[in-house]
Structure 1
Amino acid sequence: MSKHNESLGDVHNSVNTENKTGWRKILAFIGPAYLVSVGYMDPGNWATDIAGGSAFGYKLIWVLLASNLIALLLQSLSARLGIVRGLDLAQASKNTYPRFTNFCLYILAQVAIIACDLAEIIGMAIGLQLLFDLPLIWGVLLTITDTILLLFLMNKGMRKLEAFIVSMIFIVGLSFLTEMFIVKPDVVEVVKGFAPSFLSGKSLYIAIGIIGATVMPHNLYLHSSLVQTRKISRTDEGIRSAIKFNLFDTVIALNLAFLVNAAILILAAGAFFTNGHFEVAEIQDAYKLLESIFGKMAPVLFAVALIASGQSSTITGTLAGQIIMEGHINLRIEPWLRRLLTRILAIVPAVITIIYFGEDSLGNLLILSQVVLSLQLGFAIIPLIHFTSDKKRMDKFAIGPLVKVGAWASAVIIVGLNVKLVYEQIITWLHDYPGATMWIYFLVIPIIIGIAVLLLYVFIRPLMFKHHEKPQLLPHGLALAIHDIEAISYKNIAITIDFSKNDFNTIRHGIMQGGKHAKYTLIHVVETAGARYHGTDVMDLETQSDFTNLEKYVTDLKNLGYKAIAKIGYGMPATAIADITNADKIDFIVMGSHGHKALKDLIFGTTVNSVRHKVNVPVLVVKPQPK
């Protein structure tokens, strides 16, 4: 499989699970579900749990439990899809649905990720304000810097990323465990909260927010991809073993997430509801009340846990964004750019809300973001059930009748609650905003009808075209027939020079491609401020020095019997190299790899990729020799 086509190609099959037994085997599989579980305890969960606990006491614990059971079922199906078919949910959708449908599914999934990211932004900003008294607007803008942390962790490998996430979960869990001892909730009332009760009005709205905050759509995409980071035997026994161990991973991780969510709701019920504070929907209010009731220790733990959950959730949201973009619409862009775009799209509504409606309205925006997540769930759940039920492609690993009934029942419950919420919300808008009636009838309702039709189509199409998949939509296409292979002779080879210790190795690899029959063009690009501004000859001291050094390389090569010339480029390296390549009819390029990581990758790491996209000739990238 090409790394460009695999789900999360940079870390695909990067964790070996073979030739391991006992605890080593279990530990090799542990990780993916923990990355998924952070989405089940992010700041969005905090807002809905605090709102539910303060307004209704312990009565909504059963909603949390039901949401967790649904999440366990759906996440296990997601893992099964990734293990058995080697496809994530987005890739499987691309193979099944037409291009326009996939584009719509991508937009909806991206909206869900932005809504999730919005929750992380608000949570992080609130946590920073509570600990350091930083204004919310500055906290929101400061969250854009976590792109650097993501790049650093991704460069360190999947196990390091998982270790960071698990450490964040540990901080959150320890903080709330300590707070439970401080608050001392009513155990009898907690047990009563597990009994189901009728939902309507505000309780329904908060309950759907809890479901949206718990069963998050992008987590279904994420889990189906993360399980593929484990290298497994593709035999029936190997697949069956991988499904079993990933189920262990999922059950443990999601139940830990349930305990954290239950702890937040119980904390809100025990601290606020029982003390007469029934309308605590704001995280800031919860912090202040904790301080006034229980002293300084509880709110500090609360803020630390909030920051930890927000930071870990934003990383998994970025990975999910990569999966849906590459899977649904086959578009791959740099991770830092994708992260930046998603974060900016989430920051804008947060900043607008603070400026025009004040900081106090962020809590409502936080709950709304979770409701948006719930509304998008059907578009991820329905395809997932179809794909894992398909006996032709899942073979003996297709889900059985009981699991299928449970999965469809979960889908009906979620979609049904969302339909009820949308209906009640439209009625409320028509009653509260009579001046906006025309907009509701001619804009809002048609959009809702369009989304409903799309959901119906997503459900019906796999039933109508049960085994219809177009070959051109497969991740790789069809293999080409290989006939006689003739040797390629390169006549004009370009070698990029940066006057580092790697130059010798780069030149050596270039000469190996053409011998003494080819002509070698040594290229160096001057990147001074003047060169970048003018994009042409700038004979400053650096340029003169670089030209002299480049000519020395040329002279040395000529003395060895090679044909070589020097070319100086000016301005942006990728553009200058491409211009020289096209103008001089270069037919092969040899470039040295910089070997940068993390922050330097953000600054310097795009030259090779940019050159590849600007030229139509082969590019050989030479890595630095180990020290």
Structure 2
Amino acid sequence: MSLTPHTPSLSEVHRSIKIPNEKGFGRKMLAYAGPGYLVSVGYVDPGNWATDLAGGSKFGYTLLSVILLSNLMAILLQSLCVRLGVATGRDLAQACRDYFPPRVNLILWVLCEIAIAACDLAELLGSAIALQLLFGIPLIWGVCITGCDVLILLLLQGKGFRYVEALVITLVGTVGVCFLLEIIFSQPDLAGILQGYWPQSEVVRNPEMLYIAIGILGATVMPHNLYLHSSIVQTRAWEPTSEKRWEAIKFGTLDSTIALSFALFINSAILIVAAATFHFSGYNEVAEIQDAYRLLSPLLGVSAASAIFGLALLASGQSSTLTATLAGQIVMEGFLQFRLKPWVRRLATRCLAVIPALITIIFFGERSTGQLLILSQVILSLQLPFAVIPLIMFTSNRRLMGEFVNPNWLKVLAGAVATIIVSLNVWLLLQTFSGLLFH
């Protein structure tokens, strides 16, 4: 594979964060910490909440094992993104541009832009729903308000990428603290939680449980996260030697693993709270975010429970929209070598999400937002194979990766993960379309 000259994506922050030369583990870990948390927000976005709520309310703690499995898959794939970005100095979009013919790249770029717009749509609706629940703001105005948050990202990135990372870490931390409080309020059964993390054959034998399980797995790995992570690991200014690149891969992988472990806690917490609050109280059909919000305080007997839930939803939606706009800039620059001013690029990305959201609310009413969220997840599922398969191809190619190529055991494991994720997404897609056709 020949590598063509290129301008780095996000050139304004490329290799802008210094790495200390001292051998101290703590200081280096802090220097590399950040990109993993930007990636982790894709695993706790509002699009995941519905499946976690449905799984917990309907089947108790049983599907915790599925959340754990999906998170382990995500950790592996994000580690490959770190490996690709550090070893080649390219993100996934740039590697595709170097390897595939122009027509294929154009198709991949269009598919990726659609997926980013779909993802941004889910986060936008999540934030708007949170504003409606917390402050009574009509959904249509909530969409407009959340559509302006790109200005925050522009302001922070102008000050330095560390400010962007700090904001996202603060928002993710807010979601974590909120759900820690919800767990304390709901007083779940510890033995039941531990048993739920142990895989059970019932998940496969029960068609209804399998459907929700596949929904959890299918919504886990976001295509844009693979492009995003392989680019933002390059914000660190490691020395271009073999030793320092191995060090960057080690610390970058550790960063994403810790961050995704935090995402595992949040996803688990959503399901645990749903199980403890709804399932064991006889409310087995709670799948809508609005229903969960209205029921939490009355069932738990804690007046603040619903407000805390809404605050977590708002923080989740806001953090996810920030990373989706960054991913949009990365794929356009990577696939097309075409660079827009950051504010133009982010405004375009946001308009692609705001316009369909407003049209749906105006013409079909606020209740149609649930169907719009489902559609956004289906679109993401469609695009996923076109990101996962090239990532594994590139990191397994010795001519491209050199000494950093995936070892054989990692190739086999990554191939198995890709097969599982793609197969489950195809199955979920077929079930969704058959449901739309026959119901």
TM-score by length of 1: 0.66
Distance 1:170 1:91, change over 3 A: same
AA of the residue aligned to 1:238? K
AA of the residue aligned to 1:286? A
Instruction: Check if 1:328 corresponds to 2:342.
Output: no
Q: In 1, Cα distance between the equivalents of 2:394 and 2:334?
A: 15
Instruction: Check if 1:315 corresponds to 2:342.
Output: no
Q: Pairwise mapping of residues 140-151 of structure 1 onto structure 2 (< 5 A)?
A: 140-151=143-154
Unpaired runs of 5+ in structure 2? none
What residue in structure 2 maps to residue 283 of structure 1? 289
Choose which of 239, 242, 250 in structure 1 pairs with 2:248: 242
Distance 1:431 1:285, change over 3 A: closer
Instruction: Check if 1:87 corresponds to 2:90.
Output: yes
Q: CA offsets per residue over residues 370-415 of structure 1, 9 Å max, x none?
A: 2322222111110000100011121111011111111110111111
What residue in structure 1 maps to residue 12 of structure 2? 10
Q: In 2, Cα distance between the equivalents of 1:99 and 1:3?
A: 16
More strand by share: 1
1:248 to partner: Cα distance: 1.2
What residue in structure 2 maps to residue 299 of structure 1? 306
Choose which of 222, 233, 242 in structure 2 pairs with 1:227: 233
Q: In 2, Cα distance between the equivalents of 1:68 and 1:165?
A: 20
1:115 to partner: Cα distance: 1.4
What residue in structure 2 maps to residue 252 of structure 1? 258
Q: Pairwise mapping of residues 478-557 of structure 1 onto structure 2 (< 5 A)?
A: none
What residue in structure 2 maps to residue 123 of structure 1? 126
Choose which of 164, 185, 190 in structure 1 pairs with 2:188: 185
Choose which of 154, 166, 169 in structure 1 pairs with 2:157: 154
What residue in structure 2 maps to residue 471 of structure 1? none
Contact 1:51 1:279 in 2 (8 A): yes
SS of equivalent residue, structure 2 residue 361: helix
What residue in structure 2 maps to residue 374 of structure 1? 381
More helix by share: 2
AA of the residue aligned to 1:16? K
What residue in structure 1 maps to residue 404 of structure 2? 397
Contact 1:48 1:367 in 2 (8 A): no
Q: CA offsets per residue over residues 506-547 of structure 1, 9 Å max, x none?
A: xxxxxxxxxxxxxxxxxxxxxxxxxxxxxxxxxxxxxxxxxx
AA of the residue aligned to 1:52? G
SS of equivalent residue, structure 2 residue 21: coil
What residue in structure 1 maps to residue 22 of structure 2? 20
Contact 1:288 1:299 in 2 (8 A): yes
Distance 1:168 1:429, change over 3 A: closer
Distance 1:423 1:39, change over 3 A: closer
Q: CA offsets per residue over residues 201-246 of structure 1, 9 Å max, x none?
A: 5544433332343211101101100110001111111111111111
What residue in structure 2 maps to residue 100 of structure 1? 103
Q: In 2, Cα distance between the equivalents of 1:258 and 1:375?
A: 24
AA of the residue aligned to 2:431? E
1:86 to partner: Cα distance: 0.2
Larger Rg: 1
Choose which of 415, 418, 435 in structure 2 pairs with 1:411: 418
Q: In 2, Cα distance between the equivalents of 1:296 and 1:363?
A: 26
Contact 1:76 1:247 in 2 (8 A): yes
SS of equivalent residue, structure 1 residue 315: helix
Q: How many residues get paired? A: 431
1:128 to partner: Cα distance: 0.7
TM-score by length of 2: 0.94
Contact 2:218 2:425 in 1 (8 A): no
What residue in structure 1 maps to residue 430 of structure 2? 423
What residue in structure 1 maps to residue 173 of structure 2? 170
**Structure showing greater relative contact order (alpha-carbon pairs closer than 8 Å, 6 or more residues apart):** 2
Q: Pairwise mapping of residues 426-445 of structure 1 onto structure 2 (< 5 A)?
A: 426-432=433-439
1:420 to partner: Cα distance: 2.0
Unpaired runs of 5+ in structure 1? 433-627
CA RMSD in angstroms, aligned pairs only = 1.9
Contact 2:218 2:428 in 1 (8 A): no
What residue in structure 2 maps to residue 261 of structure 1? 267
What residue in structure 2 maps to residue 63 of structure 1? 66
Distance 1:132 1:385, change over 3 A: same
User: Percent sequence identity over matched residues?
Assistant: 55
Contact 1:72 1:254 in 2 (8 A): yes
Q: Pairwise mapping of residues 571-590 of structure 1 onto structure 2 (< 5 A)?
A: none
Contact 2:381 2:429 in 1 (8 A): no
AA of the residue aligned to 1:46? W
What residue in structure 2 maps to residue 531 of structure 1? none
1:98 to partner: Cα distance: 0.9
Q: CA offsets per residue over residues 395-454 of structure 1, 9 Å max, x none?
A: 11101111111111011111111222333344445544xxxxxxxxxxxxxxxxxxxxxx
Q: In 2, Cα distance between the equivalents of 1:221 and 1:202?
A: 33
Q: In 1, Cα distance between the equivalents of 2:90 and 2:122?
A: 28
What residue in structure 1 maps to residue 136 of structure 2? 133
